[in-house]
Amino acid sequence: MTCKNSDCQCNCNTPDFTELAPVMEKYAKTPGSLITILQKAQDIYGYLSMDAINYISEQTGIKPAKIYGVATFYSQFRLKPIGKYLIMLCKGTACHVNGADMIEEAISEELNIKDGETTEDGLFTLNNVACLGCCSLAPVMMIKSASSDETYGNLTKDSAKKALSEIRQREA
């Protein structure tokens, strides 16, 4: 999100919000649109940086503290960058009963991360979610990337580790 202007003489790290500008043009003056703006900003940049929150504040007239409060209240918003692959592990009732905690343990062992953390190489982020709506496949995880969403069902510790290992091998 830093300055991409080739004519820039400032030699700085000025944030570049040109992709967010059309969103702001459409929603900045519309009362009650803050969540929509935050969702679209996160879709564009992957997370909500403090620079983005300040930009949204400037455009909407909403104080940064209020925007930050909304962003931290709702679990859908992230304030830190996520990995290239977002692992969403279902913790709903069906998955819980069928071993979601065991699958979380396997993911943690394989990647050395816990819920909400990102691997040191920036490849994976683990995010426990309330439900993926795939109860017949319990326990289930979805791995999202920029190019696809893959769902893995009827997981065992071994099959979860294998799926992650295969992705890591493709990336090597």
**Which domains does the chain show, CATH number per domain?**
21-73 (no CATH), 85-171 (3.40.30.10)
pLDDT in tens, 92-115: 999 999 999 999 999 999 999 999
Q: Order across the sheet with 141-144: list the strands.
A: 124-129, 85-90, 141-144, 149-152
Judge if pTM exceeds 0.75. Answer: no
| Contacts of residue 53, Cβ cutoff 8 Å, sequence gap at least 6 | 64, 67, 68, 71
Question: In terms of Cα–Cα distance, which of 105, 103, 83, 118 is closest to 152?
Answer: 103
Q: Is residue 143 within 8 Å of 132, Cβ to Cβ? A: no
Residue keyed to tokens 């769902």? 151
Determine the distance from the C-alpha atom of residue 124 to the mean position of all C-alpha atoms in its chain, rounded to a whole number: 11
**Per-block mean pLDDT, blocks of 10 residues, the chain (172 long):** 47 78 96 96 92 96 96 89 95 97 98 95 95 96 93 98 96 89
Q: What is the DSSP string of 117-138?
A: -B-TTSSEEEEEES--S-GGG-
